[in-house]
Structure 1
Amino acid sequence: MARHTTQDFIRGDLRNQLRTLALVGVISLVVIAVALVATWVIYPKAKAPSGISLQLVVPALGPGIKKGSKVLLRGAEVGQVTDVQAPTAGSVNLDLVLTDDEVRGLLTDSFDVDFRPENYFGITAVNLIANKGGSPLTDGEVIRRGASPDFTMSTMLENGSLVVDGTLTKDMIASLNQVIRYANGLAPLIRSSIIVADTMAKTQRQLPTTLLRMMNDDLDVFPGFSSNAIGALYAFSRNGYNPGPDGARKADDPLLAETNRALELASSKLFGAAGALLKSHDSDLSVLTTMLKYLLDPLPRAIGGGQLATKTLVVVDGLESSFTGTPEQKTLQLRILLGQLPAVSSSLAQMGVATPSPKPAKSSARKPVRGDK
């Protein structure tokens, strides 16, 4: 079979070109094979975590646990899950790799395990709980646990849905609705209480002990006040309108009826007649009203307006202060101002009551005469 191959980018004859193409193909296959081996074998082993390898056998697996999931100890990451297998029903094998530096001296083969979220996003992780006692962990050890609690977020939501589905009935919803309405109705009361408390805090000027002491003083007289108030109500109930004719404690209807007739008579006969008289003789009474007006108009000025009572009190106080002594023996205090008169002073001097006032001395200076220098 004739072969016709011509390559413009390879120099040489046909044989050299074929040899070069075969060499390039072999080299390409080798490079691809090396890359595949490096990708699938060498790279995973190079990137695989180093540390203590353990196989954990548990009865059930938490939702979300897979290869690459984190292993936590006291909230810190100490390893990861390298493989998950379920060989038989009711048994799950977890291959773990723990960082030797993180778990040395903290974790032994007596640890417990559970599944819980590693953060608020609900990503599930394997949580290890250190216990006292036990032996140090060894590489390749198989540890079996009869219980692995599930505290994952998905399980919590599922259990919550079951609880709500079983308990949140129509009656429960109606009860919750009523509670919400009552709480909404109490909101203004709570707000008013807060405003009152805030106002009291702003207006309070004394310590609570002082305020409580003042309150105790008020409460000391409260029983007496209550007793007098009850006595006043009792006395009011014992008036002439409450007891009946037979002495029973009820309204005295005959007395009330007579009182009503008396009031009607007074309003119609007395005040009604007076009003009719004033209305029919308004022109005749104008003279009387005019006379009263002229007589009463000067009265406010005559009594000094509102100062008459004050002046009267001053005069009365002055008169009362003029009398001293006991209520049985009152003495009037008078001050005699006639002692400066010559006749009175000489008479008082002769009686030995007062000394005569000295006469003014005459001046020895001569009055000037016209012409003196």
Structure 2
Amino acid sequence: MVKAINQDFVRGSGINQNRTLVVAGIATVVVVVLVAITTALIYPKATAQSGTKVHLVLPNVGPGLQKKSKVLLRGAEVGVVTDVDSNDPYSVHVDIALDESAAASLTDSFDVDFRPANYFGTTAVNLISKTGGGAIRDGQTINRDSAPDFTMSTMIEHGSIVVDGSLTRDVISSLNKVTDYATGLAPLIETMIVVSDNVSRTQKHLPSVLMSRLNDLTAVFPKANVETLGALNAITNSSFNRMPDGSRGVDKAYHDLMNRSLTVASDGLFGAIGVLLGSHAAELTPVVTAVKYLSDEVPGVMGDASNMTKLQEAIEGLKRSFKGPKGQQTLQLRILLDSVPGIAQSMASMGVAPDQIPGPVKKSAGTDQPTTKKEG
């Protein structure tokens, strides 16, 4: 006997309500089955990566490679990994899907390695194009004997191995010394930077002008070297490095004498001067000040370089005034006398009469104008 079910949201008798519920349940089951079949069969094909499929057979893969990992070419993403199979004990099978443009630009001679795809170290397959080979076909299998691993995890692992094997106490001590030396050189480097900056700030001429001036310096440099070597030779061959018999050596007696002389000069002479200056500072200050005032006027009295030229000419003229053989030079003078009474009286007092003066003597009575010109 069938029990009737009364539903508020289904109208009709109990039999109609049961029939409606059965139909709705069967329809729901059919829809669920269809959705499951579509998801299992149609969706993978609909969402499958489009492009050229390539099957890679490699000896190894980079750590972390999996489905949907990126495929790179010259740093750009050109595909995706569709499958990774490592069941083969001697190789690893990697399926990739390439973009049509990337597949067209590559040949089957490309190389493969593994490296990070981004800053976070995600592993990606990197393709390296090479010349030669043929065009890539869809579904083609490519074997490679090597696939370098440049992933971040491998680099960290290798770095840890290197540090663990080489970072010993001696190496650490050497690094500490290098750091100390570098710290000590820091002021020198800073000084060089400051000097270079100051030179650049004060640089006012072009390099061509500076080079011409450098040429002027180098032109006299050989003569300067000769004079320097001559000075060194004179110092080397001086009496300080000669024995009494003329041979090379250190004359100890002579050096002792010079040492005692310098000691006497420093203690007896300069020491006494220092004591005098220290004990009579008040008395010496006015004297020094007066000497300073007098010496300050000397440059003004001497004048410029033209005065020295005139003085030299006067000295040369004075030298030419002395004539005669060596040891018997006489002074040749030309004297001009006028009618000044003082001069005439001075000559008369010396016993020289006007008629005794060589040359013509003329007098004019009643006048004080110059009348006489004598040479002697």
TM-score, normalization by structure 2: 0.67
Give the corresponding residue for 1:286.
Answer: none
Instruction: Tell me how many residue pairs correspond in the alignment.
Output: 315
**Separation of aligned partners in 2, 1:312 and 1:212:** 37
Check conservation: 1:323, 1:331, Cα contact below 8 A: no
Q: Kindly provide the amino acid, as one letter, of the partner of residue 219 in structure 1.
A: F
- Deviation string 1:60-91 (CA, Å, 9 cap, x unpaired) is 11112111112222333222111111232121
Flag structure 1 segments of 5+ consecutive residues without an equivalent: 280-288, 352-373
Give the corresponding residue for 2:345.
Answer: none
Give the corresponding residue for 1:213.
Answer: 215
Q: What is the DSSP-based 3-state SS (H/G/I as helix, E as strand, rest coil) of the residue aligned with 2:145? A: coil
**Separation of aligned partners in 2, 1:230 and 1:214:** 25
Shift, 1:170, TM fit: 1.2
Is 1:343 matched up with 2:367? yes
- CA shift in 2, pair 1:323/1:262, >3 Å: closer
Give the corresponding residue for 1:197.
Answer: 196
Q: Kindly provide the amino acid, as one letter, of the partner of residue 188 in structure 2.
A: L
**Separation of aligned partners in 1, 2:316 and 2:131:** 106
- CA shift in 2, pair 1:336/1:122, >3 Å: farther
Give the corresponding residue for 1:120.
Answer: 119
**Separation of aligned partners in 2, 1:205 and 1:218:** 24
Give the corresponding residue for 2:250.
Answer: 249
Check conservation: 1:323, 1:333, Cα contact below 8 A: no
Check conservation: 1:244, 1:251, Cα contact below 8 A: no
- Which residues in structure 2 correspond to 1:154-169 (within 5 Å)? 154-169=153-168
Q: Which of 226, 229, 234 does residue 228 from structure 2 map onto?
A: 226
Q: Kindly provide the amino acid, as one letter, of the partner of residue 196 in structure 2.
A: A
Shift, 1:169, TM fit: 1.2
Q: Kindly provide the amino acid, as one letter, of the partner of residue 367 in structure 2.
A: A
- CA shift in 2, pair 1:257/1:132, >3 Å: closer
Is 1:144 matched up with 2:143? yes
Shift, 1:6, TM fit: 2.0
Q: What is the DSSP-based 3-state SS (H/G/I as helix, E as strand, rest coil) of the residue aligned with 2:37? A: helix
**Separation of aligned partners in 2, 1:43 and 1:3:** 44
Deviates more, 1:136-145 or 1:172-181: 136-145
Q: Kindly provide the amino acid, as one letter, of the partner of residue 249 in structure 1.
A: V
Is 1:180 matched up with 2:179? yes
- CA shift in 2, pair 1:142/1:311, >3 Å: closer
Q: What is the DSSP-based 3-state SS (H/G/I as helix, E as strand, rest coil) of the residue aligned with 1:90? A: coil
Shift, 1:311, TM fit: 5.3
**Separation of aligned partners in 2, 1:213 and 1:40:** 90
- Which residues in structure 2 correspond to 1:33-182 (within 5 Å)? 33-104=33-104, 106-182=105-181
**Separation of aligned partners in 2, 1:308 and 1:236:** 39
- CA shift in 2, pair 1:336/1:187, >3 Å: farther
Shift, 1:94, TM fit: 1.1
Shift, 1:243, TM fit: 6.8
Shift, 1:346, TM fit: 11
Give the corresponding residue for 2:354.
Answer: none
Check conservation: 2:339, 2:369, Cα contact below 8 A: no
- CA shift in 2, pair 1:243/1:97, >3 Å: same
Check conservation: 2:338, 2:371, Cα contact below 8 A: no
- CA shift in 2, pair 1:256/1:170, >3 Å: same
Q: What is the DSSP-based 3-state SS (H/G/I as helix, E as strand, rest coil) of the residue aligned with 1:88? A: coil
Q: Kindly provide the amino acid, as one letter, of the partner of residue 212 in structure 1.
A: L
Q: Kindly provide the amino acid, as one letter, of the partner of residue 95 in structure 2.
A: D
**Separation of aligned partners in 1, 2:93 and 2:23:** 49
* Superposition CA RMSD, Å: 4.5
Q: What is the DSSP-based 3-state SS (H/G/I as helix, E as strand, rest coil) of the residue aligned with 1:83? A: strand
Give the corresponding residue for 1:282.
Answer: none
Check conservation: 1:51, 1:100, Cα contact below 8 A: yes
**Separation of aligned partners in 2, 1:122 and 1:69:** 12
Q: Kindly provide the amino acid, as one letter, of the partner of residue 78 in structure 1.
A: V
Shift, 1:18, TM fit: 1.3
Q: Kindly provide the amino acid, as one letter, of the partner of residue 16 in structure 2.
A: N
- Deviation string 1:146-180 (CA, Å, 9 cap, x unpaired) is 22221222212211221121111111111111111
Shift, 1:231, TM fit: 5.0
Q: Kindly provide the amino acid, as one letter, of the partner of residue 71 in structure 1.
A: V
Q: What is the DSSP-based 3-state SS (H/G/I as helix, E as strand, rest coil) of the residue aligned with 2:184? A: helix
Flag structure 2 segments of 5+ consecutive residues without an equivalent: 323-331, 341-365
Shift, 1:304, TM fit: 8.3
